[in-house]
Amino acid sequence: MSQASELIHKDLSESIIGAAMTVLNALKPGLDEKLYERALVIELRKRGHEVNAQRPYEVHYDGQLIGTLVPDLVVDELVIADPKVVTAFNDTHQAQMIGYLNITGLKLALLLNFKNARLEWKRIVR
């Protein structure tokens, strides 16, 4: 397998998705997004990951600070994990993650959907 065809942060992605599956299996669908987010922080830390929840990133335009961006979770300073409770991922969710990746300088975001009994996820790569 060539370097170009390998998934970026593959092992970390698998660990995050596994943690999300554990959380969903324990809590079941139907809860508020923030509850899944908090449980995911606990599960990821149990697995030895560094998790920053709601860490603000400054946003600049033309050299001036215009505000802050606050991703839900940043895992091991490498991957944004964004828990959702939605019927389906849409273009807005993907565009938001691309914006987050651009501002944070990270290369991978994972959208995690806790809406149904089976976890859904989507990788967004910058």
Amino acid 2: pLDDT: 39
- Tell me what the mean pLDDT of segment 80-109 comes to: 96
For a pLDDT cut of 90, what percent of the chain falls above it? 92
- Tell me what the mean pLDDT of segment 72-95 comes to: 96
Average pLDDT, the chain: 94
What is the tens place of the pLDDT at every residue in 16-38? 999 999 999 999 999 999 999 99
- DSSP annotation of 16 reads H
Residue 96, both tokens: 């938001």
3-state helix, strand, coil in the chain (%, to 5): 40, 30, 35
Question: Does position 89 have pLDDT exceeding 90, yes or no?
Answer: yes
Amino acid 3: pLDDT: 46
Domains of the chain, each with CATH number or no CATH? 3-125 (3.40.1350)
Question: Does position 1 have pLDDT exceeding 60, yes or no?
Answer: no
Give the model's confidence band at 53: pLDDT under 50 very low, under 70 low, under 90 confident, else very high.
very high
Residue 94 to residue 85: CA distance in whole angstroms: 15
- Tell me what the mean pLDDT of segment 72-90 comes to: 96
Amino acid 7: pLDDT: 84
Residue 7 to residue 13: CA distance in whole angstroms: 9
